[in-house]
């Protein structure tokens, strides 16, 4: 906003509190994000904040200042600059800014709180419109809609993601009551993908949801399956997320598509997975090499029980944690795809809520992703 029309009617947005620290210092606190911005300015400018209701134009507000002050600079320049700075920070906003976003009305109404949160983060209604439109248009593939994947489905559709491909071959069982985000007694015996699809449609009846009852294997044709997909998520822990992650990562590196590997690391349901951005972060092969080297001195004794999958413990809150941290990471990516994302894997330890995080560097000799740096 380089120039401000005298007819512009500035309005303070609802989601910001104002605190007076001295006659010249005022702090704005964004309620959703807790971000703080401090201004040092003339006391009359601070007084003028109570006038910014959207009812009065710049011209009318200037007249008020003229009646209160004979300082020409304050009236002729200071107030306009003050208004311009408040607008740049998202403290002033058009009363109808959400209505002006070119997205369906029912969709914007459902996401009004998120849109206000994004305004806190970006300071720009234009940026909010860009981000949410990108989310609305993105095509998301989710492999695995079990204890982590089902909650991630729920959170992503609540955040406004609208186009899904769900891939899973599992069937809802009575044991899924303890962790799955879509569980209902009437769902027992149905395909997980179909139940997850209905959960998404219950939240967004206009969502586009494709399902594939398919087990991801070494022979799966990802070239056909993922055609047109923008963002890929792996929570498939069968046969093992290490294998599914490698296959999907190699595809994503080749096609330069982002991949979120979320939870499902054996029984570690408090795991915080990794976002793989080809060329920027380590790929799954880098992670595999790193942990093979880091754990080379760990030599577990062969366990007498061969198939131990049904004996792993689980807690729904840890599954939701894994899904929620992944959902927030995905949102951060859509806010700014060029932001720096570190290679790391984390785990919340239940006993003391300690967050154990392992930094993972890119492997400079990785046969899968090391050549991407030279292509950029």
The tokens describing 217, both together, are: 């294997």
Q: Identify whether the C-beta of residue 323 lies closer than 8 Å to the C-beta of residue 144.
A: no
What are the distances in angstroms from CA 281 to CA 249, 361, 363? Answer: 11, 8, 10
The model's pTM: 0.88
Q: Residue 69 burial by CB count (10 A; 0-12/13-18/19+): exposed, middle or buried?
A: middle
The tokens describing 145, both together, are: 């809609």
| Banded pLDDT at 239 (limits 50, 70, 90) | low
Place of tokens 């891939």: 167
Cα(58)–Cα(83) distance, rounded to whole angstroms? 9
Q: Of 179 and 327, which is predicted with more confidence?
A: 327
| Banded pLDDT at 35 (limits 50, 70, 90) | confident
In words, the CATH class of domain 138-375 is alpha beta
155-159, 226-230, 343-347 — which is least confidently predicted?
A: 343-347
pLDDT at 135: 98
pLDDT at 212: 95
The tokens describing 332, both together, are: 């951060």
Cα(65)–Cα(71) distance, rounded to whole angstroms? 9
Classified as helix, coil or strand, 265 is strand
The tokens describing 37, both together, are: 């911005």
pLDDT at 1: 45
pLDDT digits (tens, 9 = 90+) for 188-211: 999 999 999 999 999 999 999 999
| Banded pLDDT at 250 (limits 50, 70, 90) | very high
10-14, 54-58, 314-318 — which is least confidently predicted?
A: 314-318
88-97, 254-263, 335-344 — which is least confidently predicted?
A: 88-97
Mean pLDDT, rounded, for 94-108: 92
| Banded pLDDT at 312 (limits 50, 70, 90) | low
Q: Of 241 and 137, which is predicted with more confidence?
A: 137
Cα(247)–Cα(272) distance, rounded to whole angstroms? 20
Cα(117)–Cα(114) distance, rounded to whole angstroms? 5
Mean pLDDT of the chain: 87
Cα(159)–Cα(285) distance, rounded to whole angstroms? 30
Of 43, 39, 49, the C-alpha closest to 69 is 43
pLDDT at 62: 80
The torsion defined by the Cα of 238, 241, 244 and 245, in degrees rounded to 10, comes to 170
Mean pLDDT, rounded, for 296-317: 75
Q: Residue 275 burial by CB count (10 A; 0-12/13-18/19+): exposed, middle or buried?
A: buried
pLDDT at 328: 95
pLDDT at 95: 78
Cα(342)–Cα(340) distance, rounded to whole angstroms? 6
């Amino acid at each position: 906003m380089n120039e401000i029309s005298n007819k512009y009617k500035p309005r303070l947005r609802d989601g910001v509190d104002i605190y007076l620290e001295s006659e010249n210092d005022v702090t704005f606190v964004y309620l959703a994000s807790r971000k703080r911005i401090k201004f040092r300015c003339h006391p009359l400018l601070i007084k003028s904040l109570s006038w910014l209701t959207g009812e009065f134009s710049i011209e009318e507000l200037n007249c008020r200042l003229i009646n209160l002050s004979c300082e020409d600079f304050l009236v002729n320049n200071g107030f306009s600059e003050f208004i311009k700075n408040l607008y740049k920070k998202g403290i002033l906003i058009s009363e109808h800014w959400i209505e002006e976003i070119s997205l369906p009305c029912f969709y914007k109404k459902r996401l009004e709180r998120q849109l206000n949160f994004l305004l806190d983060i970006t300071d720009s209604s234009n940026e909010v419109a860009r981000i949410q439109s990108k989310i609305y248009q993105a095509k998301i593939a989710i492999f695995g809609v079990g204890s982590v994947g089902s909650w991630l489905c729920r959170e992503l559709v609540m955040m406004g993601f609208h186009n899904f491909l769900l891939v899973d071959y599992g069937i809802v069982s009575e044991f899924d009551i303890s962790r799955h985000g879509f569980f209902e007694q009437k769902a027992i015996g149905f395909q997980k993908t179909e139940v997850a699809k209905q959960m998404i449609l219950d939240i967004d009846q206009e969502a586009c949801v494709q399902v594939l009852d398919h087990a991801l294997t070494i022979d799966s044709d990802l070239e056909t399956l993922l055609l047109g997909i923008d963002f890929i998520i792996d929570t498939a822990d069968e046969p093992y997320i290490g294998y599914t992650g490698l296959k999907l990562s190699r595809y994503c590196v080749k096609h330069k598509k982002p991949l979120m590997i979320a939870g499902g690391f054996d029984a570690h349901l408090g795991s915080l997975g990794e976002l793989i951005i080809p060329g920027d972060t380590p790929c799954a092969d880098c992670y595999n090499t790193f942990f093979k080297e880091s754990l080379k001195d760990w030599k577990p004794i062969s366990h007498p029980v061969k198939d131990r999958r049904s004996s792993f413990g689980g807690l729904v809150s840890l599954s939701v944690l894994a899904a929620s941290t992944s959902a927030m990471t995905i949102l951060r990516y859509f806010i700014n795809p060029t932001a720096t994302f570190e290679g790391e894997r984390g785990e919340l330890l239940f006993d003391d809520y300690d967050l154990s995080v392992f930094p993972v560097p890119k492997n400079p000799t990785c046969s899968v992703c090391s050549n991407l740096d030279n292509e950029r």
